[in-house]
């Protein structure tokens, strides 16, 4: 099936019940046929539902659909993009291990890596991902994971996933990619050598500002038998002394452990109602993304030619530093995010946002509505000035997430707000 067909059909088989649309299974638990059957489920000898903290049939449709869209082996949906990133990390790293990450990250992810995880003995080395060699240079015997975003927050630098994955393979380190800003419609990191793909479903995949969720997709190709991945190569006391690297071929170790260890015991599960909303969102993802991308291109061009605008970043502009990589990887579609700076700096940026009428001022991105925020004073305000500078976050930067309204109306609102700022 092609992408748009998968977005409507994958993962749902209406043969066992007559419901044409995916049902919402509002149940906490599942009936076991008998005690032997229950024992087989718990020991992973048979697949099946145990308890809705770990799995749910509505959630399973979402997981199979996103795995199909990404070209992955299997997926696990979680309560938020944030928990998807956190569980991915603790499903690979333990105390004493190191992560190498791009320094250009979503604010919450940066805080998790820079402040929270060190308290648990997991250290992150931040590198400028514009040079993939930096991942190689920073690698030590403690390195267990490479992490990057496809289009880095907040300056919209495009990561060279293929080049980073070559370094990852050389060092036998799994590469996890947060592809929230690209969605599988624009870019599929597994096709370029990434091992794990993460999305905040809250953004473009859901697309309607109506629920929180995250998902992790396992490419299924990484070899976890290397002894340096201790969590996979020692009998796991937290799960029946199972050795996750020696599961049968058909059971992918990473995503299976993610479900039965972090999710099962730490509990950031997605609700079936949210999973259902994301299934609805995915059906129109290709249509919405076409419009997000077309509108964003028009707005980027408008800003580029506006006398009050000092600079604009949009990977789709031929003059953008990321254009070469974006045009190589993104098949002519460059996402819905545009960032820019106004001539009177920080004050101008704040006044611009306060003058908007149609565009809403929110912390979210990836909604059908056009959204604006000033990251330096909000989403990235936990960073020091030096950290902001390293992440490429200028104090005057205004972040726009372009919606699917008529581009003329978005431009009119931006134009009047620029006049007032």
Q: Which range in 101-109, 118-126, 233-241, 340-348 contacts ligand PLP by CB under 6 A? A: 101-109
Closest CA to 417 of 367, 374, 381: 374
Cα angle for residues 236, 242, 244 (degrees, 5° grid) = 85
Strands 196-200 and 175-178: parallel
Report the C-alpha gap between 337 and 17 in whole angstroms: 41
Tokens 């998902």 sit on residue? 215
**Residue 81 in contact with ligand PLP, rule: CB under 6 A:** yes
Least distance (Å) between residue 83 CB and ligand PLP: 7
Report the C-alpha gap between 51 and 58 in whole angstroms: 13
Q: Which is nearer to ligand PLP, 214 or 392 (CB)?
A: 214
Nearest to ligand PLP by Cβ — which residue?
A: 81
Q: Which is nearer to ligand PLP, 263 or 342 (CB)?
A: 263
Tokens 């990057």 sit on residue? 148
Q: Which is nearer to ligand PLP, 105 or 418 (CB)?
A: 105
Which contacts of 119-122 are long-range, i.e. CB under 8 A and separated by 24 or more positions? 120/95, 121/94, 121/95, 121/96, 121/97, 122/89, 122/90, 122/93, 122/94, 122/95, 122/97, 122/98
Q: Which is nearer to ligand PLP, 253 or 333 (CB)?
A: 333
* Among 202, 256, 388, 421, interactor with ligand PLP by CB under 6 A: 202
**Residue 196 near residue 215 (C-beta atoms within 8 A):** no
**Residue 203 in contact with ligand PLP, rule: CB under 6 A:** yes
Least distance (Å) between residue 225 CB and ligand PLP: 30
**Residue 71 near residue 188 (C-beta atoms within 8 A):** yes
Backbone angles phi and psi of 242, in degrees to 5: -70, 145
**Residue 212 in contact with ligand PLP, rule: CB under 6 A:** yes
**Residue 157 in contact with ligand PLP, rule: CB under 6 A:** no
Q: Which range in 159-167, 175-183, 259-267, 271-279 contacts ligand PLP by CB under 6 A? A: 175-183
* Among 63, 70, 98, 149, interactor with ligand PLP by CB under 6 A: 149
**Residue 216 in contact with ligand PLP, rule: CB under 6 A:** no
Size of the site for ligand PLP (CB under 6 A): 17
Q: Which range in 74-82, 219-227, 295-303, 368-376 contacts ligand PLP by CB under 6 A? A: 74-82
DSSP alpha helix (H) spans, 104-172: 107-111, 133-138, 161-171
Least distance (Å) between residue 58 CB and ligand PLP: 18
**Residue 106 in contact with ligand PLP, rule: CB under 6 A:** yes
Report the C-alpha gap between 312 and 319 in whole angstroms: 10
Q: Which is nearer to ligand PLP, 181 or 244 (CB)?
A: 181
Q: Which range in 11-19, 55-63, 200-208, 382-390 contacts ligand PLP by CB under 6 A? A: 200-208
* Among 56, 88, 91, 109, interactor with ligand PLP by CB under 6 A: 109
What the block records as the tokens of 52 is 């809705």
Provide the sign of the torsion angle of the four alpha carbons 293, 297, 299, 304, taken in this order.
positive
Q: Which range in 159-167, 197-205, 374-382, 402-410 contacts ligand PLP by CB under 6 A? A: 197-205
Q: Which is nearer to ligand PLP, 41 or 205 (CB)?
A: 205
Q: Which is nearer to ligand PLP, 104 or 123 (CB)?
A: 104
Report the C-alpha gap between 84 and 61 in whole angstroms: 18
* Among 59, 82, 103, 134, interactor with ligand PLP by CB under 6 A: 82
The 309-313 sheet, strands edge to edge? 309-313, 337-342, 397-401, 371-373, 360-361
**Residue 245 near residue 232 (C-beta atoms within 8 A):** yes
Binding mask 337-376 for ligand PLP (x = CB under 6 A): ----------------------------x-----------
Least distance (Å) between residue 199 CB and ligand PLP: 8
- Burial class for 50, CB neighbours closer than 10 Å (0-12, 13-18, 19+): middle
Q: Which is nearer to ligand PLP, 41 or 217 (CB)?
A: 217
Q: Which residues are near ligand PLP by CB under 6 A? A: 80-82, 106, 108-109, 149, 153, 178, 180-181, 200, 202-203, 212, 214, 365
């Amino acid at each position: 099936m092609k992408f748009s067909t998968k977005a409507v059909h994958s993962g749902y088989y209406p043969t066992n019940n007559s419901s044409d649309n995916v049902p919402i299974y509002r149940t906490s638990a599942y009936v076991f046929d008998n005690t032997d059957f229950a024992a087989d489920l718990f020991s992973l000898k048979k697949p099946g539902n145990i308890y809705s903290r770990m799995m749910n049939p509505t959630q399973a449709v979402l997981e199979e659909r996103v795995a199909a869209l990404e070209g992955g082996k299997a997926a696990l949906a979680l309560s938020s993009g944030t928990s998807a990133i956190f569980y991915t990390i603790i499903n690979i790293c333990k105390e004493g291990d190191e992560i190498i990450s791009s320094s250009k990250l979503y604010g919450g992810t940066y805080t998790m890596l820079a402040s929270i995880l060190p308290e648990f003995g997991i250290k992150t080395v931040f590198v400028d991902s514009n040079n993939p060699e930096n991942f190689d240079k920073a690698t030590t015997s403690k390195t267990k994971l490479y992490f990057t975003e496809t289009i880095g927050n907040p300056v919209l630098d495009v990561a060279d996933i293929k080049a980073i994955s070559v370094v990852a393979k050389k060092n036998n380190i799994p590469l996890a990619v947060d592809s929230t800003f690209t969605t599988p419609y624009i870019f599929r990191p597994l096709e370029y050598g990434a091992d794990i793909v993460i999305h905040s479903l809250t953004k473009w995949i859901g697309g309607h500002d109506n629920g929180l969720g995250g998902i992790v997709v396992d490419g299924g190709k990484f070899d976890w038998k290397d002894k340096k991945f201790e969590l996979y190569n020692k009998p796991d006391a937290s799960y029946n002394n199972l050795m996750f690297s020696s599961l049968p071929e058909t059971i992918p170790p990473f995503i299976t452990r993610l479900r039965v260890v972090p999710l099962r015991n730490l509990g950031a599960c997605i609700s079936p109602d949210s999973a259902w909303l994301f299934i609805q969102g995915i059906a129109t993802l290709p249509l919405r993304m076409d419009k997000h991308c077309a509108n964003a291109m028009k707005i980027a061009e408008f800003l580029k030619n506006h006398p009050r605008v000092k600079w604009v970043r949009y990977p789709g502009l031929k003059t953008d530093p990321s254009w070469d990589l974006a045009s190589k990887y993104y098949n002519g579609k460059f996402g819905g995010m545009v960032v820019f700076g106004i001539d009177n700096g920080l004050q101008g940026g704040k006044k611009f946002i306060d003058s908007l009428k149609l565009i809403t001022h929110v912390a979210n991105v990836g909604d059908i509505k056009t959204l604006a925020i000033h990251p330096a004073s909000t989403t990235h305000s936990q960073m020091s000035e030096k950290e902001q500078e390293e992440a490429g976050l200028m104090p005057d930067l205004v972040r726009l997430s372009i919606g699917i309204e008529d581009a003329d109306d978005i431009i009119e609102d931006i134009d009047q707000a620029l006049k007032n700022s």
